[in-house]
Amino acid sequence: MPTSTGSKKHLVLVHGLSHGAWCWYKVMTYVRSAGHQVSAVDLGGSGVDPSRLDDIATFNDYVQPLLQFLESLPANEKVVLVGHSFGGLAISLAMEKFPHIVSVAVFITAYMPNCRDPPALLMTQYFKSLKPETYMDCRFTFKNGSPESTELGDSYMATMMYPNCPPEDLVLAKMLIRPSKFFLEDMSKEGLLTKDKYGSISRVYVVCEGDRVMDEEFQRFIIKDSPPNEVKSFPGAGHMIMMSKSKDLSLYLQELVAQYP
């Protein structure tokens, strides 16, 4: 379920693969203390969402909690939509469904599709760019030769995702992560994102330097492939910037709230 607080501007935070609303706890604390309204959403089968992985048959099932949350907002409310990593695909679909309420979308070391190709193309290019040893102790299931789901391994998380974070955040993550699907088949469909809706919304890309999951070269490729309105880089952030550079990220998000009313 979404968690929300505050009274001024509304930020909606969306987690990445296998994570949940819990990973934003530091950012929410900083943003709340500045007086802004902030919500973090558990996507289907993630965080404390009651659905099991087997219950999440489609990508639409996965993003349904986010879509329901946005649909429940007051008619005159605008949001700053923030997606981390795999969450970039979730907020992209939300932008297409609710273009009238998103003042700006922020992609943090995230998949940021263009309007020409099916979003799955980005994922396919990402998997092709990785060496097999990169996966370390992650456990995958495959369908027709393509990865269908994954369960993150402890060594992978420590080495690839959380090396820039305080050790207690890694401990927290190991307790709370859940298996997740990739939904490559669903995201291979044509026409999921259009210029009139998704393409009409201002986009910001946050480059996380030192990211070992979505390396900087791939982040720069995404930016070139689908140019945003603004690019911001954070040195030494690594993949989990909301924990490693939580205060800096929070301040930047507050700047965007003011910049895109």
**What is the set of active-site residues?**
85, 211, 239
Contact by Cβ (8 Å): 44, 61: yes
How many CA atoms does the CB half-sphere of 58 hold within 13 Å? 7
C-alpha span between 202 and 180 (Å, rounded): 29
Reduced to 3 states (helix: H, G, I; strand: E, B; else coil), residue 104 is: strand
> Which amino acid does the sequence have at 174?
K
Per-residue burial over 239-254, b if 16 or more Cβ lie within 10 Å, else e, is: bbbbbbbbeebbebbb
Q: Which of 189, 187, 184 is nearest to 144 (CA)?
A: 184
Nearest alpha carbon to residue 149 among 62, 40, 49, 48: 62
Q: Which two tokens stand for residue 60?
A: 């639409």
Cα distance from N-terminal residue to C-terminal residue, the chain: 26
Angstrom distance (rounded) from CA 233 to CA 109: 10
* Strand ranges for 6-101 from DSSP E: 10-14, 37-41, 79-84
How many other β-carbons are positioned within 10 Å of the β-carbon of residue 195? 10
User: 23: which 2 tokens?
Assistant: 């990973």
